[in-house]
Structure 1
Amino acid sequence: MRGSELPDDVIGTSRTAGVAESVIREMTREALRRDAINLSQGIPDVDETPPAIKEAAVAAIDAESQYTITWGLPDLRNAVADRYADWKGVEYDPEMEVTITCGTSEAIMSTMLALTGPGDEVIYFEPVYESYIPASQFAGATAVPLDITDKLEIDFARLAEAAEDASLLVLNTPMNPTGKVFTREELEQIEEIVFEHDLILLTDEIYEHIVYDDDYLSPVEVGDLAARTVVCTGMSKTYSVTGWRVGFCLAPEYLSRELRKIHDYTSICAPTPFQRAGVEALSLPDSYYQRLSESYERRRNQLYDGLIDAGLDPIKPDGAYYIVTRYPTEETDVEFCYRLIREAGVAAVPGSSFYTDSNADADWIRFTFSRNEPTIRDAIGRLREHRWW
């Protein structure tokens, strides 16, 4: 191709230097290439989506295929505010404090770009969902990861020390990849540190309805945290519509005003027909959410027991739809995952992809149980049949 020679000057900036493609999505592509069962990326099966919201999206294509208001369809913002007042006990003004984004990932990115920059420090707990790492870098902020791998417990003395120079704390609950749900006691201590050190809290609550006991709390339900918190959540996991890209961002007006600047010029608006379907989704009865958790709890137990039977060492999660497990070989986690696809026909995610250090060592991998029960059963059968460990 003409002009294909590389230019003499370095292409890119410090914002993108060292950022690699998503390992999670890389494993999905490898699974597709080798016709493996994909238990790497959190993609539900097609029949998981409630029919009523699919019908609403189809109907909206004919009637509502143009831009909405940048902040989102007014009916959807009203529905979000109403439901979250019920669910979390916090009143958000749908006009000024609710923003509909292109998925939760965009909500997180817009928040990070708007509220942090060069000279700021961003704290998060590792192992961590991989997108927080480049989001911090794109903003020009310095990442301050705090490792909780061993017992999934926060060292609050370390957190308080890190908070002295930080401006933002990221909290994912339920947590990806571990399934940890932060307790009321932990959130109360976090609240003390947030106010003592003048932090902003960014919460990723995309798995808020996939929990397995009655102890789950949103951070905004604790003390006065709502006044300093940006809640990032959305439709993807709760309604099994990961490709629709409709997120909800709830925050006090002084925070929403800033993140909306980024959202406006990067996304304009989320897909209009899927926003309309979101209004229908938020009208579903409470029984829907109960059935959702019960369904995933069955699949959690199915995969957990199956991994034990296959000779692995899983940790049972309290929320979300992932299981992390250790494996008894000397292979690296990356080597183990690629061999798992080649020889067992099952895809998982290397644990090292959930750490800021690109050379991090991890002796564990992550599976998802977002797939249906027959698919999980088939994956367990392959693991048993083709195990080399």
Structure 2
Amino acid sequence: MTKTPSSKPAVGTSRTSNVVESVIREMTREAISEGAINLSQGIPDEDETPPEIKAAAKEAIDTDSQYTITWGLPELREAVAERYAEWKGVSYDPETEVTITSGTSEAIMSTMLSLAGSGDEVIYFEPVYESYIPASQFAGATPIPLDITDDLEIDADRLAEAAKRARILVLNTPMNPTGKVFSREELETIERIAFEHDLIVLTDEIYEHIVYDDDYLSPVEVGDLAERTVVCTGMSKTFSVTGWRIGFCLAPEYLSKELRKIHDYTSICAPTPFQRAGVEALSLPEEYYEELSDSYERRRDLLYDGLVEAGLEPVKPDGAYYVMTRYPTDETDVDFCYRLIREAGVAAVPGSSFYTAPDAEADWVRFTFSRNRATLEEAIDRLIENRWW
């Protein structure tokens, strides 16, 4: 067959054909292009990072710039195991049950690719952080979304019915984008269903230290759920180092053994200097975590009140650093967000990006309050001054 210079080979697979690039990152690019205040992506300001861990990273560049063991720097794995035993009351063997990954996203992807496959089903609650959807598809599994938009509460009967056919249940607590914190009663229901239907639980707890009441529990603190749970978390949000890409993956050995196979051949190891800085980060006193939550709670209240003043309808979160809000126009959420960037100079994320099947009628958008107080105040002023709704 004669090929012309313009002919192109067929590319893509069934696992990637329905996947689109991240809408969150698209909104960040648009904000940069238009000079808008970026309240779309959860990026803290540089001065949020503790100076002592920055210093540790700089020092490590001069002394520790080569590969670590694939599973991570031994000192960091030991520190992770020690701290999580204190925080969650579960003991993990740093040699076989703690893996340092290239961010929490890689921990989630490695878990999904290793533990789900063709014919499996993956349950998650919507609105959901957008990466769980392609992670399921990349694994060849079928996503099973359970919508909890109306009251942010799980329906035990619906979950039990879905669990009959499922392999993995994905939890995110505190939840992005809504800030929902799963209650003890909900987690006890999840534990019962997980054992009844032989589910593996993948829990994303990257916002575990950004909570605004005393009711937060990790799923592994409930009953025997730790026996079948992979905990994915890391440094990004707790220490305001989203670009360092240091994740922690904690799981029983039989699960860790599988996910480490994917991690090994995709990442080799996480960035060594930042792993070294992670040891320093995990030595910070408990007061650091208390102030972290207090600081974000103040910013949550500032943005929430500002959105109300601007004529929007926000829902106050119990954790994480995002606010979902409804807007009172007939525009699609995508059109509203692009107009918000260009006319008000503030970037948000369309709510439809947090659903497997985006609803053209969606009227949700998500703002982050990960920025400093001055930036949030300026964003609120812009919303009020440039309001068209």
Tell me, in whole angstroms, the C-alpha distance in 2 between the residues paired with 1:4 and 1:126. 46
Match of residue 131 from structure 1: 131
Cα distance, 1:291 vs structure 2: 0.2
**Where in structure 2 are the equivalents of 1:278-357 lying within 5 Å?**
278-357=278-357
- Matched residue, 2:27: 27
Query: Is the contact made by 2:173 and 2:208 (CA closer than 8 Å) also made in structure 1?
Result: yes
Q: CA deviation at 1:18?
A: 1.6
The superposition leaves residues 79-102 of structure 1 with CA deviations (integer Å, 9 ceiling, x where unpaired) of 000000000000000000000000
Give the aligned partner of residue 89 of structure 1: 89
Give the direction of change, closer, same or farther, for the CA distance of 1:231–1:299 in structure 2 (3 Å limit): same
In the alignment, the residues of structure 2 paired with residue 122 and residue 303 of structure 1 have an alpha-carbon distance, to the nearest angstrom, of 34
- Determine the C-alpha separation between the residues in 1 that align with 2:358 and 2:210: 30
Partner of 2:6: 5
Residues 62-73 of structure 1 mapped to structure 2, 5 A cutoff: 62-73=62-73
Residue 172 of structure 1: aligned partner: 172
Structure 2 residue 202 is the aligned partner of structure 1 residue 202: yes
With normalisation by structure 2, the TM-score equals 0.98
Could you say what the CA RMSD is over the residues aligned between the two structures, in angstroms?
A: 0.8
CA contact (8 A) 2:107 2:247 kept: yes
**8 Å contact from structure 2 (residues 316, 323) kept in 1:** yes
Distance in 2 of aligned mates of 1:342 and 1:89: 49
Cα offset for 1:360? 5.1
Mapped partners of 1:329, 1:317: distance in 2: 23
Between the aligned partners of 1:118 and 1:163, the Cα distance in structure 2 is 17
After TM superposition, give the deviation of residue 361 of structure 1 in Å: 3.5
Separation (CA, whole Å) in 2 of partners of 1:185 and 1:359:
30
Give, in angstroms, the shift of residue 4 of structure 1.
6.8
C-alpha distance in structure 1 between counterparts of 2:359 and 2:341, whole Å: 22
Q: C-alpha distance in 1, partners of 2:25/2:7? A: 27
Q: State how far apart, in whole Å, the 2-side matches of 1:175 and 1:359 are.
A: 20
Q: CA deviation at 1:237?
A: 0.1
Deviation at 1:76, TM superposition (A): 0.1
2 CA distance for matches of 1:196 and 1:15? 30
In 2, Cα distance between equivalents of 1:228 and 1:377: 44
Measured in 2, the distance between the counterparts of 1:325 and 1:139 equals 32
Amino acid at match of 2:254: Y
* Structure 2: distance between partners of 1:250 and 1:5: 49
Which AA in structure 2 matches 1:72? Answer: G
Taking the aligned partners of 1:30 and 1:170, their CA distance within structure 2 comes to 30
For residues 276-330 of structure 1, what are the alpha-carbon distances to aligned partners after superposition, in whole Å with 9 as ceiling and x for unaligned? 0000000000000000000000000000000000000000000000000000000
What SS is found at the alignment partner of 1:319? coil
Deviation of 1:78 (Å): 0.1
Secondary structure of 1:304 counterpart:
helix
Amino acid at match of 2:263: H
Contact preservation (8 Å) 2:231, 2:249? yes
Matched residue, 2:212 = 212
Task: Give the aligned partner of residue 224 of structure 1.
Answer: 224
CA distance in 2, matches of 1:362, 1:30: 21
Q: C-alpha separation between the residues in 1 aligned to 2:326 and 2:192?
A: 35
For residue 238 of structure 1, give the secondary structure of its aligned residue in structure 2: coil
- Equivalent residue for 2:121? 121
Query: Which residue type is aligned with residue 321 of structure 2?
Result: Y
Q: CA deviation at 1:167?
A: 0.6
- What SS class does the counterpart of residue 223 from structure 2 fall into? coil
Amino acid at match of 1:269: C
Distance 2:106 2:124 in 1: 18
Q: CA deviation at 1:362?
A: 1.4
SS of residue matched to 2:215: coil
Residue 388 of structure 2: SS of its match in structure 1? coil
Distance 1:56 1:10 in 2: 48
How far does residue 10 in structure 1 lie from its aligned partner after superposition?
2.2
Q: Quick one: which amino acid aligns to residue 154 of structure 1? A: I
Within 5 Å, which residues of 2 pair with 1:177-188? 177-188=177-188
Q: Secondary structure at the match of 2:248?
A: strand
* Residues in 2 aligned to 1:189 and 1:360: alpha-carbon distance in whole angstroms: 33
Q: Partner amino acid for 1:323?
A: V
* Secondary structure of the structure 2 residue equivalent to 1:129: coil
Deviation at 1:359, TM superposition (A): 4.9
What displacement does 1:6 show? 4.3
Q: Does 1:157 align with 2:144?
A: no
CA offsets, 1:186-236, max 9 Å, x none? 000000000000000000000000000000000000000000000000000
Q: 2:383 aligns to what SS in structure 1?
A: helix
The Cα offsets for residues 148-176 of structure 1, whole Å up to 9 and x where unpaired, read as 00110111100000000001000000000
Tell me the alpha carbon deviations over residues 50-88 of structure 1, each in whole angstroms, 9 at most, x when there is no partner. 000000000000100000000000000000000000000
Aligned to 2:388: 388
In structure 2, C-alpha distance between the alignment counterparts of 1:158 and 1:214, rounded to whole Å: 28
> Partner letter of residue 174 of structure 1?
P
Cα drift, residue 5 of structure 1: 2.5
Q: Which runs of 4+ in 1 moved over 3 A?
A: 358-361
How far residue 142 of structure 1 moved from its aligned partner, in angstroms, is 0.4
Tell me which amino acid in the other structure corresponds to 1:270: A
| 1:4/1:112 CA distance change after superposition, 3 Å | farther
- The secondary structure found in structure 2 opposite 1:379 is helix
State the alpha-carbon separation in 2 of the partners of residues 154 and 222 from structure 1: 17
Rounded Cα–Cα distance in structure 2 between residues aligned with 1:45 and 1:121:
38
Tell me how far apart the structure 1 counterparts of residues 128 and 7 of structure 2 sit (CA, whole Å). 35
State the alpha-carbon separation in 1 of the partners of residues 7 and 283 from structure 2.
54
